[in-house]
Amino acid sequence: MVTVLDTSSRPKNVIRHPEKINRPETPRLKKPSWIRVKAPGSKAYSETHKIVKENDLVTVCEEAGCPNIGECWEKKHATMMIMGEVCTRACAFCNVRTGIPDLLDKKEPENVALAVQKLGLEHVVITSVDRDDLDDGGAQHFADVILAIRERSPKTTIEVLTPDFLRKNGALEKVVEAKPDVFNHNLETVAAKYLTVRPGARYFHSLRLLQRVKEIDEQIFTKSGIMVGLGETRNEVLQLMDDLRSAGVDFITIGQYLQPTSKHHELVKYWTPEEFKAFETIAYTKGFSMVSSSPLTRSSHHAGEDFVKLKTAREVR
């Protein structure tokens, strides 16, 4: 049973928008032509938006300002963000609000399952904010959502994109035991950048989390993603690839960091499409079964199509 830690001594409903957190302003680079995308507005996009709102759902597509929202929602693909809109951490790259979250919505697993059924999804991605205020980090809630989707849409494949469950003993096991088809946890950046980019996380803990999934259930595909443009070097990215392969990770995604506001972490460089293609080639040579590497790659972008390719790659072996 998930319980909420006592927060009675702290101010309630303290919500900070990332751009209002006390960080120095940094310059914002002009976007190159290969980053620009068409504004959303199709009929199918509107229908997806309606289903999301009718079921009181939160999507990372909206909260994180994903550049691919128009394309994905037009195809009725949406990444559901569970456990609220407020995160307990304040990562320097992220545009999700920070503060003290509300209690978990007990109706959310069924609402998510209903939306998946209405959208007719063949593959769904479920992610969340960090919930360090919960004694299991929200792991049981993830499991409840998975089970609710299985009940309503047994043919739908399920991908979870989870927090790191740092210092939450037994939390990971709850999610894995619910048997998602894909377990995704993003490293986000190279080890040397964690102190400034993900100060609340630990690089080697995240690697161990992914490794542990395979130890519990080797049939679950594991996946992780990073952003480039935060000041990392090419060799640091290649080392991260080796670290992920050592943890048995099947699928890596590499995308361009886009600075939400001048208060977020500085965008140091736009990597070119050719450089992303080189990363893809190298990742395959290192043994990844599936690689998605491009300026607009995001963890959930084309997740359904990529899952089919990943499954096919396993069957061929």
Taking only the tens place, the pLDDT of each residue in 7-56 is 333 444 556 665 556 567 777 788 888 887 665 556 666 666 676 666 66
pLDDT of residue 130: 96
Inform me whether the pLDDT recorded for 315 exceeds 80.
no
Q: Which residue has the higher pLDDT, 122 or 211?
A: 211
pLDDT band at 235 (very low <50, low <70, confident <90, very high): very high
Give the β-pairing of 221-228 and 251-256: parallel
Inform me whether the pLDDT recorded for 250 exceeds 50.
yes
pTM of the model: 0.84
Q: Using one digit for the tens of pLDDT, what is the confidence trace for 135-151?
A: 999 999 999 999 999 99
- The structural domains of the chain, with segments of one domain joined by +, span 34-316
Asked if 264 contacts 27 with a C-beta cutoff of 8 angstroms, the reply is no
* Closest by Cα among 238, 185, 190 to 213: 185
Which residue is it, tokens 């986000």?
188
Rounded to an integer, what distance in angstroms lies between the CA atom of residue 81 and that of residue 84? 7
Asked if 140 contacts 162 with a C-beta cutoff of 8 angstroms, the reply is no
Give the β-pairing of 182-184 and 221-228: parallel
Q: Residues of 54-91 as b/e, b for ≥16 C-beta within 10 angstroms?
A: ebebbbbbbbbebbbbbbbbbbebbbbbbbbebbbbbb
Across residues 58-77, what is the average pLDDT?
A: 57
Asked if 167 contacts 134 with a C-beta cutoff of 8 angstroms, the reply is no
Across residues 203-220, what is the average pLDDT?
A: 97
In 162-278 the beta strands, taken as DSSP E runs, fall at 182-184, 221-228, 251-256
What is the Cβ-side half-sphere exposure of residue 299, based on CA atoms within 13 angstroms?
A: 26
Q: Using one digit for the tens of pLDDT, what is the confidence trace for 74-116?
A: 655 667 889 998 999 999 998 888 999 999 999 999 999 998 9
Rounded to an integer, what distance in angstroms lies between the CA atom of residue 105 and that of residue 56? 10
What 8-state DSSP symbol labels residue 227?
E
Torsion of CA 91, 136, 5, 19, to 10 degrees: 10
* Superfamily classification of domain 34-316: Aldolase class I (3.20.20.70)
pLDDT of residue 2: 34
Q: Using one digit for the tens of pLDDT, what is the confidence trace for 251-298?
A: 999 999 999 888 899 999 999 999 999 999 999 999 999 999 999 998
* Closest by Cα among 281, 311, 61 to 181: 311
* Closest by Cα among 279, 292, 275 to 34: 275
pLDDT of residue 194: 97
